Chains A and B, each alone.
Chain A
Amino acid sequence: MMNYDNILSKKASCIPPSGIRKFFDIVSEMKDAISLGVGEPDFVTPWPIREAGVTSLEKGRTHYTSNAGTMELREEISRYVNRKYNLNYNPKNEIIVTVGGSEAIDITLRALLNPGDEVLIPEPSFVCYKPCTILAGGVPVPIVTEEKDNFRLTKEKLLEKITDRTKVLILPFPNNPTGAIMEKEDLEAIASVLRDTNIIVLSDEIYSELTYNGKKHVSFASIDGMWERTVTINGFSKAFAMTGWRLGYLAAPAPLCSVMYKIHQYAIMCAPTTSQLAAVEALKNCDGDVENMCKEYNQRRRVLVDGFRKMGLSCFEPEGAFYVFPNISSLGYSSEDFAKKLLEEEKVAVVPGTAFGECGEGFVRCSYAYSIESIQEALKRIGNFVERHKK
Chain B
Amino acid sequence: MNKELLSILEKNSRITPAEIAVMLGTTEEAVKEEIKKLESDKIILGYRTLINWEQVDKDTIKAYIELKITPQAAKGFDRVAEKIYKYPQVKSLTLMSGAYDLLLEVEGETLRDVAMFVSEKLSQMDSVIATTTHFVLKTYKKENVIFQHPDKDPREVITL
**A residues near B19, Cβ cutoff 8 Å:** 303, 376
Q: Does A37 belong to the interface (CB within 8 Å)?
A: yes
In the assembled complex, the Cα of A302 lies from the Cα of B25 at a distance in Å of 7
User: How far does the alpha carbon of A383 sit from the alpha carbon of B83 in the complex, in Å?
Assistant: 56
- With A42-B153, A295-B4, A299-B8 known as contacts, the answer to whether A21 contacts B22 (CB < 8 A) is no
Question: In the assembled complex, which residues on chain B have CB atoms less than 8 Å from the CB atom of A35?
Answer: 157-158
Whether the pair B24, A302 counts as a contact (CB closer than 8 A) is yes
Q: Is there a chain A Cβ closer than 8 Å to B155's Cβ?
A: yes
**B155–A372 touching, CB < 8 Å:** no
Between A and B, 5 residue pairs with Cβ closer than 8 Å are A27-B157, A37-B158, A42-B155, A127-B160, A299-B8
A372 touches B23 (CB 8 A): yes
Q: Are A28 and B157 in contact (CB under 8 A)?
A: yes
Cβ contacts A352-366/B at 8 Å (1 or 0 each):
000110000000000
Q: Answer whether residue B159 sits at the interface, using C-beta atoms and an 8 A cutoff.
A: yes
Interface residues of B in 130-154 (CB under 8 A from A): 153
- Give which listed residue, A27, A126, A303, contacts B160 with CB less than 8 A: A126
CB proximity of B148 to chain A, nearest CB, Å: 16
Question: Which A residues are within 8 Å of any B CB, using their own CB?
Answer: 18, 20-21, 24-25, 27-28, 33, 35, 37-40, 42, 126-127, 176, 295, 299-300, 302-303, 306, 349, 351, 355-356, 372, 376
Q: Are A24 and B158 interface neighbours, CB within 8 A? A: yes
B82 on the A face (CB < 8 A)? no
Determine the chain A residues whose CB is within 8 A of the CB of B57 once the complex forms.
none
Given contacts A302-B24, A302-B25, A372-B23, contact A38 B8 (CB under 8 A): no
B158 touching A21, Cβ below 8 Å: yes
Is A349 within 8 A of B160, CB to CB?
A: no
In contact, B22 and A351 (Cβ under 8 angstroms): no
Q: What's the nearest-Cβ distance from chain A to residue B84, in Å?
A: 35
Chain B minimum-CB-distance residue to A374 = B153
Q: From A29, which residue of chain B is reached at the shortest CB distance?
A: B157
**Which of B12, B22, B155, B160 contacts A20, CB < 8 Å?**
B160
Interface residues on B, range: 10 to 19
Residues of A within 8 A of B158 (CB): 20-21, 24, 27, 35, 37-38, 349, 351
Bound: A349/B12 CA distance, A: 26
Q: B156 near A: Cβ within 8 Å?
A: yes
Contact B160 A302, beta carbon cutoff 8 Å: no
Nearest Cβ distance between residue B78 and chain A, in whole angstroms? Answer: 34
Q: How far is the CA of A300 from the CA of B20 in the complex (A)?
A: 11
Measured CB to CB, the nearest residue on chain B to A303 is: B22
> Roughly how many angstroms separate A163 CA and B19 CA in the complex, as a whole number?
50
Can you add 9 more A-B contacts, CB < 8 Å, to A33-B157, A351-B158?
A: A18-B160, A35-B157, A37-B158, A39-B160, A299-B8, A299-B23, A303-B23, A351-B160, A376-B19
A37 touches B22 (CB 8 A): no
Nearest CB of B to A360, in Å: 12
A21 and B160 alpha carbons, distance in the complex (Å): 9
CB of A113, distance to nearest CB on chain B (Å): 23
In the complex, which of the residues A38, A303, A349 has the most CB atoms of chain B within 10 Å of its own CB atom? Answer: A38
CB nearest to A356 among chain B residues: B160
| A355 pairs with B160, CB closer than 8 A | yes
A299 touches B24 (CB 8 A): yes
Shortest distance from the beta carbon of B25 to any chain A beta carbon, whole Å: 5
Q: How far is the CB of A386 from chain B (nearest CB, A)?
A: 18
With both chains docked as a complex, state the minimum distance between the C-beta of B14 and any C-beta of chain A, in angstroms: 11
Task: Give CA–CA (A323, B146) in the complex, Å.
Answer: 28
Contacts of A355 in B (CB 8 A): 160
CA distance A178 to B159 in the complex (A): 15
Q: Which residues of A contact B12 (CB under 8 A)?
A: 372
5 residue pairs, one from A and one from B, having the closest CB atoms: A37-B158, A299-B23, A24-B158, A27-B157, A35-B157
Measured CB to CB, the closest approach of chain A to B17, in angstroms, equals 14
Q: Which of B10-43 contact A (CB under 8 A)?
A: 12, 19, 22-25
B80 to chain A, nearest CB (A): 37
Known contacts A295-B4, A355-B160: A302-B155 contact under CB 8 Å: no
A40 pairs with B155, CB closer than 8 A:
yes
Give min CB distance, B97 to chain A, whole Å: 24
B residues less than 8 Å from A33 (CB atoms): 157
- Shortest Cβ distance from A114 into chain B, in angstroms? 28
Chain B hits for A295, CB < 8 A: 4
Residue of B23, B25, B157, B158 ringed by the most chain A CB atoms within 10 A: B158
How far, in Å, is A35 (CB) from chain B's closest CB?
5
Q: Is the CB of A38 within 8 A of B25?
A: no
Contacts of A372 in B (CB 8 A): 12, 23
Using Cβ atoms and an 8 Å threshold, which residues of chain A touch B153?
A: 42
Interchain CB contact (< 8 A) of A38 among B4, B24, B157: B157
**CB closest chain-B residue, reference A176:** B160
Q: Are A24 and B23 in contact (CB under 8 A)?
A: no
